[in-house]
Amino acid sequence: MILLLLEIICVWLIVGNLILLFSYRQALRQFWLEPMVKQPIIIFESDDWGPGPAEHGQALHKIHQLLTEFRDYRGHCAHMTIGAVLSIPDAEKIQQSQYQAYAGLDLSQPQFSDVLGSLKQGQQAGVFSLQLHGREHYWPHTLLSEMQHNNDLKEWLAHNSAYTEKLPSPLQSRWNPPLSIADIAVAVKQEVDLFKRCFGVAAEVVVPPTFVWNEEVEISWRSHGIHTIITPGQRYYKRSETRFWSDKKRIVNHQTSATGQTYLVRNQYFEPEFGHQWREAIDKVTSSIKLARPCLFETHRFNFVNSEEGCQNSLYQMRSLLEQVTKTWPDCCFLSSLELVRLPQHDPDKLLIHHWRHRLQCWRNRAFTLPKFRYLATLTGLNLACWLIVQVKPVTDFSLWQHQSDKPRSN
């Protein structure tokens, strides 16, 4: 009877684990292949910067100064990527046409020299990395068509055209309307050419506006040398006011697209204008460390330009976050997205985990984020088996264990 019971348990464990691993095979494979980092990596990613008043240039300068105050153990200063919008509507010309013809003002024009100058200074100092967000944040002809019968949009054009954040959400999606391959090709060529004219360098990284894009857009980006796409962990090909449609449900860092481009994932939000506080952000860093992932904070332009009070609060929250990060994790690293995407090929500081036992623990932590996986893995014994394998040999030289057990200290 005892032998029979043992046989039943063994069969249950074997069959149960085979079913479990097969059911979650795609996600588990992605989690294993995704690079794992052994030290905290922090990147701020800020979108929507582009043509605007001189005050926007001043806000960028304040961010620049703040970032240079903090350095990682290698001496590298804190870093922010800039998702650049290159053009806004020319309100005067559009109004003169009775809203029948679109015209734009691009970042290279003299009235935007303060913003462009601040972006270039930050780039040269190594605190900003410039990424393509779009020639416009919207599709111009869609905006114009909506404007012809919408007085609120006409009011926006007259008084707030530099603030694309204030447009209705669906209109902010540049690649949302159904577009022909020819239209996409022309639009991508225009935006990459304008990016190079404004900044003197070719675009290598792109951030799709509102994270809506499709494979045809990827193909055009690729043909113009853009090799990295920033994502929210999915690819949305269409959206409405309240809903997004996805054709790639799960994207992980360093996953390769069908066109050979590399995906990176923004996994955390840091929007002080929405009430986000630095203490909450510390918890997000801790969560990223547990999953052996870099922490990419999304923080939009509006946090720094909506009001002087809002700007000061956002700078305070960012300073407090950086102070606590460097204090809690002295071995943290500040990277750019380009440095992150090249890490598997160029890792001079040995930030990646390669030992299979260390990777197994990180893989287990990632797997536990899947719906019901923790419960099922416990039921089938997979959780216990992974834990025992990790414990076979004590791990004394792996900083991740210390990071997982450390609790952030409050000031």
Specify whether 248 is located in the same domain as 125. yes
The whole-number average pLDDT for the span 137-161 is: 96
Domain boundary among 318, 341, 364: 341
Measured between alpha carbons, how far is 302 from 284 in angstroms, rounded to an integer? 21
48-68 residues labelled b (16+ CB within 10 A) or e (exposed): bbbbbeeebbbbbeebbebbe
Are 195 and 329 in the same domain? Answer: yes
pTM: 0.92
Question: How many distinct structural domains can be found in the chain?
Answer: 2
Do 386 and 363 lie in one domain? The reply is yes
Regarding whether 82 and 144 lie in a shared domain, the answer is yes
- Beta-bridged to residue 171, according to DSSP, are none
In a domain, 218, yes or no: yes
Average pLDDT, the chain: 93
Residues 186 and 256 occupy one common structural domain: yes
Residue 306 and residue 380 share a domain: no
Mind listing the pLDDT tens digit for each residue in 213-253? 999 999 999 999 999 999 999 999 999 988 999 999 999 99
Q: Quick one: pLDDT at residue 392?
A: 73
Q: Are 17 and 268 in contact (CB under 8 A)?
A: no
Note whether residue 271 is domain-resident. yes
The DSSP result for 58-115, as a single string, is HHHHHHHHHHHT-B-TTSPBP-EEEEEE-EEE-HHHHHHTTTSS--EEETTSGGGHHH
Per-residue pLDDT, averaged over 120-144, amounts to 97
The model's pLDDT over 348-365, given as tens digits with 9 standing for 90+, comes to 999 999 999 999 999 999
Q: What's the confidence (pLDDT) of residue 388?
A: 86
In-domain check, residue 81: yes
What would the mean pLDDT of 35-44 be, rounded to a whole number? 97
Does 42 score more than 80 pLDDT? yes
CA dihedral 191, 194, 195, 199 (to 10 degrees): -170
Regarding whether 391 and 334 lie in a shared domain, the answer is no
Asked if residue 346 belongs to a domain, the reply is no
- Evaluate whether residue 13 is within a structural domain: no
DSSP code of residue 212: B
Sequence-distant (≥ 6) Cβ neighbours of residue 139 within 8 angstroms:
173, 174, 175, 176, 177, 179
Alpha-carbon distance 332 to 356, whole Å? 23
Q: Residue 117 sits in which domain range? A: 41-341
Same domain, 274 and 394: no
Asked if residue 347 is part of any domain, the answer here is: no
CB 329 within 8 A of CB 410: no
Q: Are residues 332 and 359 in the same domain?
A: no
The confidence score (pLDDT) of residue 14 equals 86
Q: Strand pairing of 41-49 and 228-231?
A: unpaired
CATH of the domain at 255: 3.20.20.370
Q: Check whether 405 has a pLDDT greater than 70.
A: no
Report DSSP state, residue 341. H
- Position 77 pLDDT exceeds 90: yes
- The predicted-structure confidence for 164-185, as pLDDT tens digits, reads as follows 999 999 999 999 978 999 999 9
Question: Are 330 and 364 found together in one domain?
Answer: no
Same domain (yes/no): 263, 385: no
Looking at this protein, which amino acid is placed at residue 48?
D
Q: Are residues 250 and 295 in the same domain?
A: yes
Chain centroid, CA 401 distance in Å: 26
Give the pLDDT confidence of 371-394 residue by residue, as tens digits: 999 999 998 889 888 888 888 765
Highest mean pLDDT among 14-28, 47-61, 233-247: 47-61
Radius of gyration of the chain, Cα coordinates, nearest whole angstrom: 24
